[in-house]
Structures are given as structure tokens and as C-alpha cells.
Amino acid sequence: MATLLHRLGKTAYRRWPLFLAAWLVAMVAVGAVAATMSKPMTDSFSIPGIPSEQAADLQAELFPGSVDAFDQAGVTVVVAAPEGSTLDDPEYSAAVDALVADLSDGPQMPAEPPLANPAVAAPQQFQGAVEGAVEVGTPRAQAEADAAALLPLSDDGRIGTITWAFDVDTVADVEPEARDAVLDALEGARDAGLTAEVNGAGMTVMEPPGGTSELIGIAVALLVLVLTFGSLVSAGLPIVSALWGVGLGITGITAMTAFMDIGSSTPMLATMIGLAVGIDYALFILARYRSELEHTDDREEAVGISVGTAGSAVVFAGLTVLIALAALAVVRIPFLTAMGLAAAATVLIAVLVALTLLPAVLGLTKSKAFGGRVRKYRPARDEDGKVLNNGVRWARLVGRRPVAVVLIVVVGLGALALPLQNLRLAFPTDSTAPTDTTARQASDLLSEGFGPGREAPMLVVVDGRDVPADDRGAAYAEVAGWAGAMDGVVNAQVAFMNEDGTGAQILVTPETGPDEAATEDLLAELRDGQSSIEDATGTTTGVTGLTAITTDVSKRLSDALPIYLAVVIGLAFLLLMVVFRSILVPLTATFGFLLSVLATLGATVAVFQEGAFGLMEGQPIVSFMPIFLIGVVFGLAMDYQVFLVTRIREAHVHGAGPREAVLDGFRNSARVVSAAAVIMTAVFAAFMLQDDPIIKSMGFALAVAVVFDAFVVRMTLIPALMYLMGERAWWLPRWVDRILPDVDVEGEKLHRPHLAAPASEREPEPAGV
């Protein structure tokens, strides 16, 4: 591996025009596909095979014109008169009429049915629904209760709803002008004295990546790189190469929409991860290049050595991230698979950029690579002439009391993981949006006027094809009565029947909102009772709707987590055995990962779900966050493990003793690993400025995970364990050693005479280690 990459680095340095041209051609080609073939991104969280999707398929079979719950661009405008007034009052009724007229004139509005003033439409709708139900044999009392449950006007007449779906095929087809027209119409209603808010999938804005968060992360990264290298040019090289890689990755994701469905959050997550690892990978190779220039004046050879050694670490660090992200496909969840593969592709590009584009740029800049100096690098040295920096001092401090350090880290991270026991997973809804958004305010008004269950309807699809035609109506009514008798149900009624009467849709309105545990319990109770009502009526039933689908997706994600963990940890363990040629080092790496990820999830639950410190409003954690976080954190954790421990092993294979190898590893890599961790933390933390709650929580979790894993686990726990294990850290059974490929990550086969350390220079191990 090291020899091959050594040649690649020297070739890229020497033939830099060819490599730069190749990267430019790649960008142009991918950009052309993205510009000509890309499609809008989607936010479909459906999973084939889950109960709600099976019910949705049955619905599509019985009602061919039905629209998928995720594709319907529904909008609900909620208007409210001031306290003590009603929407029937002439002043406010006229204001609602004007609002309806303004909304109807907007783009992409449906022609039928026309929008209506809720104060005017409610009495007509009530009367028509009651009379129609009574005609088919429904008792008047039941008919009135059913009609009242779906009225667009609250009981006190103060709050009303105007509901429609934009005339589009999917939510992604809604034009910004259509949303802007709705928001402008609301401003007119507010000027007239009404409270007017709006929510619904049709008003969801899918923002492309690029903005303040990325700029803040890049600014912090640039500052850290200037402090690390003391040079403006070298500080800019990792930024430029990472931006090129991310730009190509995002363009590729856009191009891939022509062939597969990709969620709107995917580009942002890929940007977040690609930018962080892109800067870090370039930083490690560039730092090694500067170090090699202390031993040779041949810049081409220095680049070759840097790519052969640090580049090998980059390859295997990138492989762990790729394994963690690509393994998301194992859980067979389409949107998560697309998200993982997109992020993995961006990481792969970051690795290739670091191995080929960066050396080519160094070939272009040559002696100017460290130009624009703001300070000179003059490290302190000990009595033997070796660099004496904070990394060495920290490693020595940890080595004095390694047992105490291990106990402190394990207990501290374990305590941070305690809130994890209260973890509750759900998908974000309008009712969990920030309180200052119109979506949340509309949701609060709906709960006030109609109860929280108005936003969490469930749909029971009833197949009556096996029931005699004369008995179908009674069977549907019996199913509705069964659902309505459940605890926690406000109303259940037959909302639709198909033309030949072979199928019906029963609308179930729960007492609780879409993000509440009681709603999930009601869904489970409905499904538990399906077999009994099917036997009693001869029908086939299924429960679907947005609430049912998101609940099923959350459950599938939870069930898939153990499988995912087993695949990722198993493959990565084998990979680390190849890298380190050890059993215990991969074990300690995995143990440290589990500590950091549990502590991260605990901190995320405390801050986002329980609202600790008042930083965030309490709300459930988005369902796919834990599994995605585990994948990303595992990959990043192994990054730091590879970069730090390969330097330790490099010293060891060149003759250093166990203690000196740890010190030498920290001497050469602690500063760079710390800089990389600070950069990655800044990039991730900056995404907390995004409005999207998914991106906000992911940014927080990833930033905290880097802090825990890089500084607490890799820089503290791992060296303490390495001290305790001593020479045993590199133990590997002979039969395993024979079957493992020799990849030479440390560059042992490269000619490196300055690394040989005489035994007299090795520091003795302290007593008890």
C-alpha cells in the first residue's frame, strides 16, 4: 500500500497539469449530467413491506385515484378572530373572504373544489353531511357527531381552517412563488386584524446546501489551519481541496436524482461530512509533507513519502467511513440507503482528492506551498534533540496514572450516557417545529380549536370484495364503530367508498397529536384488533396515513439498529486488524467508540429531547438520527484511531519500545489530530444555525461526538490503554498473521533511515506499566 501510494504521490506531483485537467474534466462531466438530467429531490420516508405501506397499496388498488401521503402537497391555513369575537362577525368574515380570494388567485392552486370561508362553509357542510349519512341509514345522532368532527370551524366559531393541496404531482414540484403568494395573502389577513398562520407539506421549503453555516465552519477551519501551519498558502490548500471535493460530490448527488429518489436533507448531510473529512484528510497529508521536508530537500520525494504514509492512513480511515455509511444499505430502508450512499460517495471523493489533487497542487505551487508565512515553526526540543511539544507532555501526563485515567473516562462518559434511557424517536412534525415559525403557530391554533388529533389522522382501508354486496355498508359501519370505540379515539367514520362499493376508507381522529406516545399506542391497539374485526365482518383491513407510516418507519429503524451495528463493527474490526496487525488495538478502538457514541446520544437526548439548559425546545429525536449518527461517528472515530495509532505503530515497527512509541506518536500526530478535531467540530457545530431541525440536531450530535471521541477517547483513553497493554498491544496469533494481507500502512518498506531509533534513546517504561 505505502509503496503504491508513494508512486502515486510522486506521479501527481511531477505530472500535475494532467491530474488537474482530469479533475476539471470530471467536474464538467458530472455537472453536465446534473444540469440536463436531474430531478427534484423528495422527502419520502416510506419503506416497502411495512404495514402502513401494505395498507397504502391496498388503498391504491381499491381507490386508483388516491395520492401517496408523502406526495400530497397539502396546505392548511388557520385563521382566528381575536378573543371574544368570531369569524362570523361581519368585520372578520369580510377579511376571511378577502383572504380566500387572494389565496385562490395564487399559482398552482387547484381548480376544484374551490376554497371557501370556513364560517360560511361549516353550516352548509354540516347539513349536507348529516342528511347524506341519514339517508344511508346512519342514526342522526351519530351522523351529527361525525359531521361535527370534520368541520372547518371550531365550536366557539373563533378558529377556522382553509385546506387544499397544490395542483402538483409531488411536494418537490411546488414553486417558491406559490408559497410566497400564500404568505403574502396571510399578511393581508393579519393587517385586517386576524391571526393567520399556515402549515402542511406543501409549505415545506427544501433549501439547497450553501450558506452561513458552511461559511462559519470554513472560517474557523481556516483560522485553525493558519495557527497549525503558520502559513496562509498552506492553510488555504486543505480548504480549497475540500471545497472542490464537496462541490463535485454535491453535483454528483444532484445528477443521481435522475436515477434514484434522494431526500432533500441528503445534500446538507453530505456537505457536512464531506467538508469535515475533506479538510482533515488534506491536513494530515500536508502536515506530513511539512514534516518530511525537515529530512530531505527533494520535494517530489517528500510528497511521495507523505502520500505513502499519511495517505495510507487516509485510505483506511476513509474506508472505515465508507463501510459505516454504505452499510446503511443493509437495513433496506430506501431513503436511508440513498442518504448513506450519497455521503459515502462524497467521502470517497475526499479521499481521492487528498491522494491526487492535493499532490498535484503541491506540484503546481512547489516552494510556494508554505508561502505567506505569519510565523515560523520553531519547536522546542529535549536533551536528545527530539521535538518536545504539548502532545508529548500530554502523553507523559496520561502515562503517569493510566489506570486512573481509564476509570475517569469510562465513568464520565457513562454518566453522560444516562439520559439515553429516556430516548424517544419520532419524525419532526409541525407540532414540534420552533415556536416562532408559522407552521408551529398554525399547529398550536389547530390544537386549541379542534384538538391535537386533528393533525394525526389515521386511515383504515377496508376491502369488502369478499363480502356480499348487500352486507358491505353494514360491514363498513361495523368497522367504523369498532375503531371509534377504541380508547383515545375522538371520532371514526366512513369517509369514502369507491364507485362499486367494494372498498371504504374510515377516517380515525385520535385525541392526541402525531408526536405523542399515546398516538403510537392507539395505532398498535388498532392493529392488534384487526384480526377480530376482520373475522366478524369478512373484510380485510389495513391502517395507513402519514402518522401510521412515520410510526412504522421509526420502528423499522429501531429494529434495524442491531443488525447495522453488527455489520459495521464486524467489517471495521477486520479492517483495523489488517491496518494494525493486532487483536487488542481494534478491540480498544471499538470499546472507545461505544463509549463516545453512547455519551453523544445521551447528551443529544438531554439537550434536544429534554431541553436541558434551555438551549432547545424539547421534542422527540428524529427517528433515523441514532442509526445515521452511529455510522458517521464510527467512521470518524476510526479516522482518529488510524491517524494517531498508525504513528505509534510506525515508531514501533522502526524499533521504538512501547512507551517511546506512544510518545513518538503523540509527538508527531497529536497537534494535527487536535487541529483536525477542532476543524471538524467547528464545521459540524456551525450547522446548528440551520432552521431544519434534522440538520440542527445532527450538527449538534456530530460536533459533540467529535469532542468526546477525539479528545476524551482517542487522545486520553487510548494512550492510557496502550501504556497498560505495553508490548501486548501488538499481539497477533501467528495463524492470523499468515492469512492477513500485508498492506504496510506505516511505510516500513520505504527507505526511512532517520526513523531508526537506537535502544539507548528509548524512554524506560514507568513502574507498573
**CA 720 – CA 436 distance, rounded (Å):** 48
Place of cell 361581519: 90
Query: Which residue pairs, CB below 8 angstroms and at least 24 apart, start in 112-116?
Result: 115/162, 115/164, 116/152, 116/162
User: What pLDDT sits at residue 759?
Assistant: 37
Q: Is 468 exposed, middle or buried (0-12, 13-18, 19+ CB in 10 A)?
A: exposed
Whether the pLDDT of residue 197 is over 90: the answer is yes
Chain centroid offset of residue 207 CA:
15
The tens digit of pLDDT for each residue in 669-697 reads: 888 888 888 888 888 888 787 777 777 88
> What's the whole-number mean pLDDT along residues 483-500?
91
Look at residues 469, 426, 440 and name the one whose alpha carbon lies nearest to residue 200. 440
User: What pLDDT sits at residue 760?
Assistant: 38
Q: What percent of the chain has pLDDT over 90?
A: 36
Measured between alpha carbons, how far is residue 701 from residues 279, 606, 629 in Å? 20, 11, 7
Measured between alpha carbons, how far is residue 220 from residues 216, 379, 640, 676, 743 in Å? 6, 24, 20, 11, 35
Give 129's pLDDT tier (boundaries 50, 70, 90): confident
Whether the pLDDT of residue 453 is over 80: the answer is yes
Q: Give Cβ neighbours of residue 386 (< 8 Å, ≥ 6 apart).
A: 667
The tens digit of pLDDT for each residue in 459-483 reads: 999 999 999 998 998 999 999 999 9
User: Across 335-339, 345-349, 514-518, 652-656, which has the greatest mean pLDDT?
Assistant: 345-349
Measured between alpha carbons, how far is residue 751 from residues 296, 315, 644 in Å? 12, 21, 22
Indicate the pairing of strand 540-544 with strand 458-463.
antiparallel
Indicate the pairing of strand 503-510 with strand 489-497.
antiparallel
> What's the whole-number mean pLDDT along residues 158-165?
94
More confident residue, 43 or 763: 43
> What's the whole-number mean pLDDT along residues 208-229?
76
User: What pLDDT sits at residue 510?
Assistant: 95
Residue 662 carries which side chain, given as an amino acid letter? V
Residue 593 carries which side chain, given as an amino acid letter? F
User: What pLDDT sits at residue 207?
Assistant: 54
User: What pLDDT sits at residue 206?
Assistant: 55
Give me the phi and psi of 506, to 5 degrees please: -110, 120
State the DSSP H helix or E strand holding residue 47, giving kind and residue range, or none if neither.
none
The tens digit of pLDDT for each residue in 574-599 reads: 878 887 888 998 899 888 888 998 99
User: What pLDDT sits at residue 195?
Assistant: 95
Question: Three-state SS for 154?
Answer: coil
Lowest mean pLDDT segment, chosen from 95-109, 296-310, 481-495: 296-310
User: What pLDDT sits at residue 314?
Assistant: 87
Question: Three-state SS for 412?
Answer: helix
User: What pLDDT sits at residue 730?
Assistant: 86
Whether the pLDDT of residue 573 is over 60: the answer is yes
**CA 275 – CA 219 distance, rounded (Å):** 12
Whether the pLDDT of residue 6 is over 90: the answer is no
User: What pLDDT sits at residue 352?
Assistant: 94
User: What pLDDT sits at residue 43?
Assistant: 63
State the DSSP H helix or E strand holding residue 425, giving kind and residue range, or none if neither.
strand 425-426
The DSSP secondary-structure symbol of 110 reads -
Whole-model pTM? 0.77
C-alpha cell at 413: 462518559
The tens digit of pLDDT for each residue in 72-81 reads: 889 999 999 9
Place of cell 477525539: 710
Give 763's pLDDT tier (boundaries 50, 70, 90): very low
Q: 174 with 166: CB under 8 angstroms?
A: yes
Give 758's pLDDT tier (boundaries 50, 70, 90): very low
The HSE-up count of residue 666 (CA atoms within 13 Å, CB side) is: 27
Question: Three-state SS for 656?
Answer: coil
Question: Three-state SS for 234?
Answer: helix
Q: Give Cβ neighbours of residue 618 (< 8 Å, ≥ 6 apart).
A: 608, 609, 610, 611
> What's the whole-number mean pLDDT along residues 480-503?
91
The HSE-up count of residue 468 (CA atoms within 13 Å, CB side) is: 2
Q: What angle, rounded to 10 degrees, do the helices at 16-37 and 358-365 form?
A: 130
More confident residue, 49 or 222: 222
More confident residue, 513 or 40: 513
Give me the phi and psi of 80, to 5 degrees please: -140, 135
Residue 377 Ramachandran class (φ > 0 left, ψ -120 to 50 alpha, else beta): beta
C-alpha cell at 569: 463493527
